[in-house]
Every structure is written in structure tokens, then in C-alpha cells.
């Protein structure tokens, strides 16, 4: 019982981290149809910035998160203007893969040149580091915090996309970008804002999840596949899909690591192949012909 409970907590926390980071990628893929392999690289920038802010500037954790998110968005602006705009919606996947892999390599090289090639820790504040008593069991406070962040992110995104004017325009652009353009929606602005939102979510997830996915020099490459798999299994552009895929994969991965550490990766990729082969547009995705 104790094992099951700790597996569940870890699995849900891990799934929520995956969700926060991947949902940005998923929205980008749903709207701009860009297979952005560099998404993890931006999450990594967020992690490095937060680590620098806390350890060298000695600011509070919450301020560090804010600085990391805003800093990463600022860093990403030149990439959006110079590079990503060229590949929105039209190019074939090969060009997108090549360009975003190039961006990933570039960011890894530069980040490690500036901050040094070592594991970066993001120290937690007092309130988040200890265990929390929830009545019948003690749980690590940080895990609870991560899960809460994930739930809040999912709710806020749902509100943004379903209930606001921006959301209406965004959904219109997803469904038919040419027609949305013709109706007077400035799609290039929608794209730019969505890009910033996606990158910001990635950076936020990178910082909050640093305890679970440690920030290290090859972070962008190591988890690139995982984030892509979440989006592919969940279906591009679907919040519910990304959430359920994250939790499912988090559960599968964590359970595998607890129970059969020898063959964790093997079963993970095998299940990915089976799921993607049976549901090529994801569990909750729609086909974009």
C-alpha cells in the first residue's frame, strides 16, 4: 500500500511536469504545425536562468520563476522573428526537424559556454522543501506544489482558450488560418503570442520540474523525445489529450522504474510504438489533412 501510494504521488508529479512543459509544444504544433524539437532547449534555458537567479542573485524562488519565464521569452524572440516564422504551417517536416535540431544544438552549446557544463540545482525555499502532513500520510511538499501547478496551468489554459476573445481567435486560426486571416484576425500576432506562451510554459515547467527532470547540459536532447512522445500520444493541440498522455506516460514510466528497472525504456518505447501506430493522430487529436 505504501509503495503504491508513493508510486502514485511520484507518477502524478512526474506526469504534471511533463504536462506543463509539453502543453506549450502541443499548442504550437496544433496551431503552427511546427515540430519544434527545440522546445526542451527553451525549458533548459529557463532552468539555467532560475538557477543563476537563486544561487548568484539570491532572489526568492517565486521571483526566480518569474525571471526565468520572462527571460526565456525574451531570449526566444529573435528565434521567432528570424527562424520560426519561416517554417510556420507550410514547410515539410524535414525542414522543420533540421532547423529545430539546429536550434537545439546551438542553444546547448551557447548555454554551456555561458553557464558551464555542470548539473545546475535550483534550491527550493523552506516552505517547499520539507514533508507535508495531509492527515493520514506525509508527502513531500514539492510534489504537491508541482501537482498544484499542473492543475492550475490546465485550468488557466482551458479558460484562456475556451472563454476569452484571444481563445476564439486562436481556435479560428487553428481551424482555418487563411479564412481567419481574411476575416481580419491578425494571425501573425496570434502566432507570435502563442509562441511566447508556449515558450513561457516550457520555461515554467523546466524550473518547477527541476527536482524531477534535473537541469543538466544535455537536458534538451535527453527529454526531447519524451516531450514529443507526449504530444504525439495526446494529439497535437488538445489540452485534455496532453494531460491524459502525460499522466499515462508518467504512470507507465514511474511504475516501470519501480517494478522492472531493467527494462523500463524498452517497455516505454514499445508502448509508444503501439499507441502511435494504432492512433496516429493521438488519443484526443484530430487529423489535419
Q: Rule CB under 8 A: which residues touch other proteins?
A: 29, 35, 83, 86, 92-95, 97-99, 101-110, 112-113, 117, 217, 221, 225, 228-229, 231-232, 236, 262-263, 265-266, 269-270, 272-273, 276-277, 280-281
Torsion of CA 184, 187, 188, 191, to 10 degrees: 160
Nearest distance in Å: CB 146, other proteins? 25
Q: Which three cell numbers stand for residue 203?
A: 520555461
Compute how many other C-beta atoms are within 10 angstroms of the C-beta atom of residue 192: 16
Nearest distance in Å: CB 93, other proteins? 5
Nearest distance in Å: CB 124, other proteins? 28
Nearest distance in Å: CB 14, other proteins? 18
State the burial class of residue 158 (Cβ atoms within 10 Å of its Cβ: 0-12, 13-18, 19+).
Answer: middle
3-class DSSP state of 17 = helix
Output 167 or 264, the one with its CB closest to other proteins: 264
Say how far apart CA 48 and CA 280 lie, in whole Å.
Answer: 35
3-class DSSP state of 35 = coil
Nearest distance in Å: CB 64, other proteins? 25
Say how far apart CA 217 and CA 134 lie, in whole Å.
Answer: 36
Nearest distance in Å: CB 45, other proteins? 14
Give Cα 127 distance to the centre of its chain: 25
Number of helices (H), then strands (E), in the chain:
14, 2
User: What contacts 106, CB < 8 A, 6 or more positions away?
Assistant: none
Nearest distance in Å: CB 7, other proteins? 21
Contact 20, 208 (CB under 8 A): yes
Output 168 or 273, the one with its CB closest to other proteins: 273
- Closest alpha carbon to 37 in 154, 241, 202: 202
Q: Which three cell numbers stand for residue 49?
A: 536562468
Nearest distance in Å: CB 265, other proteins? 4
Contact 215, 68 (CB under 8 A): no
Amino acid at each position: 500500500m505504501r509503495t503504491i501510494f508513493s508510486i502514485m504521488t511520484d507518477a502524478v508529479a512526474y506526469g504534471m511536469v511533463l504536462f506543463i512543459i509539453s502543453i506549450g509544444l502541443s499548442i504550437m504544433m496544433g496551431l503552427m504545425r511546427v515540430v519544434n524539437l527545440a522546445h526542451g532547449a527553451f525549458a533548459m534555458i529557463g532552468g539555467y536562468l532560475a538557477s543563476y537567479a537563486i544561487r548568484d542573485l539570491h532572489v526568492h524562488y517565486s521571483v526566480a520563476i518569474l525571471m526565468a519565464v520572462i527571460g526565456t521569452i525574451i531570449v526566444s524572440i529573435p528565434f521567432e522573428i528570424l527562424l520560426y516564422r519561416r517554417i510556420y504551417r507550410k514547410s515539410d517536416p524535414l525542414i522543420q526537424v533540421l532547423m529545430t535540431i539546429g536550434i537545439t544544438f546551438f542553444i546547448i552549446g551557447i548555454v554551456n559556454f555561458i553557464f558551464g557544463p555542470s548539473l545546475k540545482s535550483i534550491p527550493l525555499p523552506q516552505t517547499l522543501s520539507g514533508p507535508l502532513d495531509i492527515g493520514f500520510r506525509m508527502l513531500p511538499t514539492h510534489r504537491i506544489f508541482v501537482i498544484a501547478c499542473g492543475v492550475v496551468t490546465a485550468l488557466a489554459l482551458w479558460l484562456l482558450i475556451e472563454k476569452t476573445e484571444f481563445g476564439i481567435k486562436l481556435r479560428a486560426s487553428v481551424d482555418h488560418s487563411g479564412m481567419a486571416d481574411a476575416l481580419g484576425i491578425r494571425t501573425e500576432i496570434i502566432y507570435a503570442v502563442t509562441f511566447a506562451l508556449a515558450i513561457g510554459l516550457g520555461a515554467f515547467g523546466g524550473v518547477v520540474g527541476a527536482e524531477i527532470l534535473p537541469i543538466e547540459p544535455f537536458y534538451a536532447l535527453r527529454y526531447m523525445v519524451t516531450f514529443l512522445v507526449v504530444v504525439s500520444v495526446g494529439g497535437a493541440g488538445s489540452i485534455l489529450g496532453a494531460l491524459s498522455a502525460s499522466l499515462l506516460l508518467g504512470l507507465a514510466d514511474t511504475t516501470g522504474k519501480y517494478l522492472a528497472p531493467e527494462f523500463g525504456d524498452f517497455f516505454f518505447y514499445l508502448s509508444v510504438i503501439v499507441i502511435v501506430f494504432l492512433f496516429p493522430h493521438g488519443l484526443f487529436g484530430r487529423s489535419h489533412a
